[in-house]
Chain A
Amino acid sequence: MVTPLDVIKKKRAEAVGRIIGRGYLATKRVYVGMATCEIAAGSKEVMEVFNEAITKDGLTDVYLSQKGCAGRCNLEPTVEVIEQGKNPVRYGKINREKAAQIIERHLKNGEVIEEWIID
């Protein structure tokens, strides 16, 4: 008999498959905080910059996702760059210009921008 646990396991496998289908296995994953507080601090614009880089400027091998609030109110908007085999990098107080620099320097050239890191 198929139990609810069997059903949920299948659903999870399918969900993971869809997430991978959206490009999750890219070398770099970028998360932009998109709760009310982050949006008020300007995260929608930051998201736009990343989005455009991927859809219009042909930035490849980057998985972009929104996320809720992690709790760093005074450092919002926050952006995380997670790379397989490396420690996660967390940036705080990111705006349009800084987002563009993260794309150029970190995502394209692998440079971690120390001065914006949340420690």
Chain B
Amino acid sequence: MVSENIITICDGTGCIQKGSDKLQAAFEKEIAAKGLGDTAKINLSGCLGMCDKGPVVVVNPGYTIYGNVAEDDVTEIVESHVINGNPIAKLAIQEDHLFNRFFRVFGDAKFFGKQMRIALRNCGIIDPENIDDYLSVRGYEALAKVLTNMSPQDVIDQVKKSGIRGRGGAGFPTGLKWQFTADQNSDEKYVICNADEGDPGAFMDRSAIEGDPHTILEGMALAGYAIGAKHGIIYIRAEYPLAIERLEKAIEAARASNLLGKNILGSDFYFDIEIRLGAGAFVCGEETALIRSIEGKRGMPRPRPPYPSVSGLFEKPTLINNVETWANIPVIILDSGDWFSTVGTEKSKGTKVFALAGKVVNTGLIEVPMGTTLRQIIYDIGGGVPDNKQIKAVQTGGPSGGCLPVEYLDTPVDYESLAEAGSIMGSGGMIVLDETSCMVDIAKFFLEFTQNESCGKCTPCREGTKRMYEILTRITEGKGQLGDIKKLERLGNMIKKASLCGLGQSAPNPVLSTIANFRQEYEEHINDKKCRAGVCVELLIYQVTDKCVGCGACKRVCPVNAISGAKKEQHSIDTDVCVKCGACMDTCKFDAIIRV
């Protein structure tokens, strides 16, 4: 139902403290009293980022923002604005923030209203292939601002003040990284955008680039100015053809508009960006391997220090940040580092983009303030688990992360809390698992991935992940042995400690976290040869019950002739011959075949 008027009340912590819940009650009462139930709708949003002016109320259409709204103002807003269509100038506040622009188009939908969009502020709003669209939403204004009246150190100070930390997953303070690179004395420095997104199921960076490529370019140019670099390189995987095409178009348009290249916007600042394609090796997302790959060498990590900020690309000081980090930078410059630091938790500032997938009603790309709980993400935004199934766990951080059981659903998403709970923030994959997911199988899936992607340079990762994978395989095939869990734990911890780079150091996480939280499932697989989720095929047994009428339909579809029985008598399945394909169960019209 499309209402004629939508009254959005900010339901962020700041506004709640200032009494937004009372406002909600007042609006509901007023709307009922005026008989507007059919035409006006009340909507609660997540934090709108204007806490200093709270409680904040937005009235649509027209996107009028009212600040410091008191209960006494409610009648006037409803009478004057909602009924008569006259916005109240004295209560309205003028905001020209960069963040949350998506709200004008999407704010009243439940899925979007609870989000806060900084990095994805233009995604799904503007035409990504037209620089005019980006310019019209204050694009490149941050770059113009720093070139006009900010010193390089001012820029770095803003980034430091914002408290933003690396969005690639490790969470290193971005401002410090910028400072370290700026402090290096070198005639040549580089700025790199890491767009080598490789986690299975992750598409945050692809969507961000495809939806708003110019913001990445602007973020990189800002860094070039701040640290004294002339060259930027975007390392992106070749599997993202549309993202590459849009980046190429964006770079060309920016050059033509004097926003990249010589004398940017009439200043004496030079900065240009080129694209390098990765061949899709997961390890090349690791910064030192990525740098090797750009240099034309085999993509393998090297020990740090020296960090890239000291000796990176071609042994020159190099600043490397993730796509999402870059997308935040123009907002930090225009809306200020101080504002940015008001969003999020004490140690994790700003927002985080997640690719929400798995057993959840609304799968999608979301951006929420740090500190939002997993429960809020899965239920308020994701709409819960479909088909009335029970949620079993949440996997965060992809192949480097872990599985958190239901008890951890109230964990806020920030770097420390997720790590304490036994997973990681990672780059933003979030997979919801329900009772039909087998935790051993999930762990095996991720380990198979990291084991395939191990570059082979160091032994713990190359050999260790292989051995772990073999053990997991035999457990899922019903050949698990006593002591396998212990072996997995020992191997896992060894690999974590002894591996050279982040790939190996985090590869055992999915296994270790599922053992820690779902040990019983491992034990059932090994001791009872049972998979409670019915996923591990080798552990399933098909049986014919007394519902069988002896029609013989199952016998005819069985590809290995494992079913026997006389006509009109109960059939039976020879478990030793059965290949567990399930064809008999699908064929039976009498539900006489069960899987145990």
Contacts and interface: CB of A to CB of B under 8 A. Distances in A.
A29 B2 CA distance: 17
Query: Among A35, A74, A80, A119, which residue has the most Cβ atoms of chain B within 10 A?
Result: A35
A15 B135 CA distance: 6
A39 interface: yes
B266 interface: yes
B207 A68 contact: yes
A39 B427 CA distance: 24
A51 B542 CA distance: 55
B446 interface: no
Interface in A1-40: 2-5, 7-8, 11-12, 15-16, 18-19, 33, 35-37, 39
B242 interface: yes
B365 A71 contact: yes
A118 B124 CA distance: 14
B207 A35 contact: yes
B124 A71 contact: yes
Contact of B105 (A36, A68, A88, A114): A88
A28 B131 CA distance: 22
A69 B133 CA distance: 15
Contact of A87 (B61, B102, B124, B364): B61
Contacts of B243: 36
B147 interface: yes
Given A37-B203, A67-B127, A85-B62, A4 B147 contact: yes
Contacts of B109: 90, 118-119
Contacts of B2: 87, 89, 112, 114, 117
A94 B105 CA distance: 18
Given A87-B60, A112-B2, A117-B2, A71 B207 contact: yes
Counting chain B CB atoms within 10 Å of each CB, the highest count among A18, A33, A65, A88 belongs to A88
B122 to A, nearest CB: 8
Interface residues of B, number: 64
B140 A8 contact: yes
A88 B62 CA distance: 10
A101 B145 CA distance: 46
Nearest to B353: A71
B104 interface: yes
Nearest to B125: A67
A82 interface: yes
Interface string B97-125: 00000101110111110000000101111
Nearest to B105: A88
Interface residues of A, number: 41
B448 interface: no
Nearest to B5: A87
A73 B364 CA distance: 5
B129 interface: yes
Contacts of A88: 104-106
Contacts of A39: 242
Contacts of A16: 132, 135-136
B376 to A, nearest CB: 16
B267 interface: yes
Nearest to B367: A71
Contact of A82 (B105, B122, B126): B105
B92 to A, nearest CB: 17
Given A66-B127, A89-B2, A35 B144 contact: no
Given A12-B141, A66-B127, A69-B207, 12 more contacts: A4-B266, A5-B145, A7-B258, A11-B257, A12-B138, A18-B132, A36-B242, A70-B106, A80-B105, A87-B3, A87-B108, A88-B106
23 contacts: A2-B266, A3-B148, A4-B144, A5-B145, A7-B144, A7-B265, A15-B135, A16-B136, A18-B132, A35-B210, A35-B242, A37-B203, A66-B127, A67-B125, A68-B122, A68-B123, A68-B207, A70-B365, A71-B365, A88-B105, A88-B106, A112-B2, A114-B2
